[in-house]
Structure 1
């Protein structure tokens, strides 16, 4: 009797497990082994109000870890079928987190970080940080997030939520984060990111607005790419009446 092994499904589960493992290890390592010297003069690395949750990078890392946790759980107790008879709440929730937070934040954080880094790394990751912040951890936080989320986009079928629901969730998150960094400024009298220190008030407002619009635009980028990549599957889903509700 021939042994039937579903290689693509096994590879998908392995991919999800590797992604989940590296994100949780990065969080564990950062919390336990990244020790900031007391002599460091940057607010962005000193322990203080808000802790690591001051940084969009860390919020992004948490969302990536959470999303791939949902993937691993869904691999074992859910289903990755393209047209399940009854789409589970877990599957629907997983798709929502991808569309609303995981994909847009990964693209925003990575592109913003490396763009500013290319212009002047001292504005985003001063060279002095290399003594306590390893290169591999930097790449997990700012490079791997794009690699893994794009691999997920191309290998896992999903249905995007209704645009009003998904986009509104991302918009609210971005507004709350802008409020959050101003609370930090009020509490500590220092901006979270050094680049905000060197900008005038009009420049700062323009920069925040630009980054905000830039960040939420990735919701539409993700939706467009998903619709192109999975066009045939989405048509079949629509024709069969199996839509997310």
Structure 2
């Protein structure tokens, strides 16, 4: 009986590990192709009419959009996860985790999870209120629906699945939030640099906000993203409660 139970457990771990690797492979291919297609084939419309509303300026290219930057983060995360599946370790609480596993854990906790949810939730919320604020109808002709869902929907679906299929060690909250704040703060500086040189806000919603409202909007985005970091930490602590306790005991 004991041998049968052990064999069943070993088989389960093997199947679960294979499915986790398939998840990482699917996500890595999907987001990498999405980035390639967006960068190579999607050309936003511009206008020579001085009276027309400009929604795109070439300064900064695709790298001005948080959606595109997040897609890069997601692709990097799943590629790193795939490498870790083969040459690193998916042991729940390894005594000496290899560098690839440490980087994988840091990337998800600090950037991949909170930024993915920020992009997905913010985009679809503004889209539901008034799509012209974030994704004008004129873009439908150049930005295919499947790519829209890859970059704004699937990022959330896959990262949530990842939270439930792979345990990761969260850093101290102060360190994790510091890393996330540096990234988001840097992005806010970047979009102001773009505004300065192109005289066009990256997102149409910023055009309709007054300066005080814009400051409140940026503050709310930063606070919201920080809240998403804490949400990820909470989910991890609930789903992987035993592993978190074991990790805490080993670190003492």
Q: TM-score range by the shorter chain?
A: over 0.9
Runs of 4 or more off by more than 4 Å in structure 1? 40-44
CA distance in 2, matches of 1:79, 1:33: 37
Secondary structure of the corresponding residue to residue 81 of structure 1: coil
Question: Deviation string for 1:112-160 (max 9, x for gaps)?
Answer: 0001000000111011111110001000111001000000000001110
Task: Please provide the CA RMSD for this pair.
Answer: 1.9
2:141 — aligned with what? 131
Quick one: structure 1 residues 42 and 177, their matched pair in 2 at CA, closer, same or farther if it must change by over 3 Å? farther
Q: Show structure 2 runs of 5+ residues with no match.
A: 1-6
State the shift of 1:43 in Å: 5.1
Is the contact made by 1:106 and 1:146 (CA closer than 8 Å) also made in structure 2? yes
CA distance in 1, matches of 2:193, 2:103: 30
Give the one of 18, 33, 36 matched to 2:41: 33
Quick one: structure 1 residues 43 and 81, their matched pair in 2 at CA, closer, same or farther if it must change by over 3 Å? farther
2:176 — aligned with what? 166
Quick one: structure 1 residues 224 and 43, their matched pair in 2 at CA, closer, same or farther if it must change by over 3 Å? farther
Is the contact made by 2:59 and 2:194 (CA closer than 8 Å) also made in structure 1? yes
State the shift of 1:236 in Å: 2.2
Quick one: structure 1 residues 10 and 44, their matched pair in 2 at CA, closer, same or farther if it must change by over 3 Å? farther
CA distance in 2, matches of 1:127, 1:189: 22
TM-score (norm 2): 0.90
Question: Deviation string for 1:83-109 (max 9, x for gaps)?
Answer: 323211111111011000000001111
CA distance in 1, matches of 2:75, 2:54: 25
Is the contact made by 1:108 and 1:215 (CA closer than 8 Å) also made in structure 2? yes
Give the one of 108, 124, 129 matched to 1:119: 129
State the shift of 1:44 in Å: 4.8
Quick one: structure 1 residues 7 and 44, their matched pair in 2 at CA, closer, same or farther if it must change by over 3 Å? farther
Q: Show structure 1 runs of 5+ residues with no match.
A: none
Give the one of 61, 66, 78 matched to 2:88: 78
Is the contact made by 1:83 and 1:242 (CA closer than 8 Å) also made in structure 2? no
Tell me if 1:10 matches 2:18: yes
Is the contact made by 2:47 and 2:54 (CA closer than 8 Å) also made in structure 1? no
| Count of matched residue pairs | 240
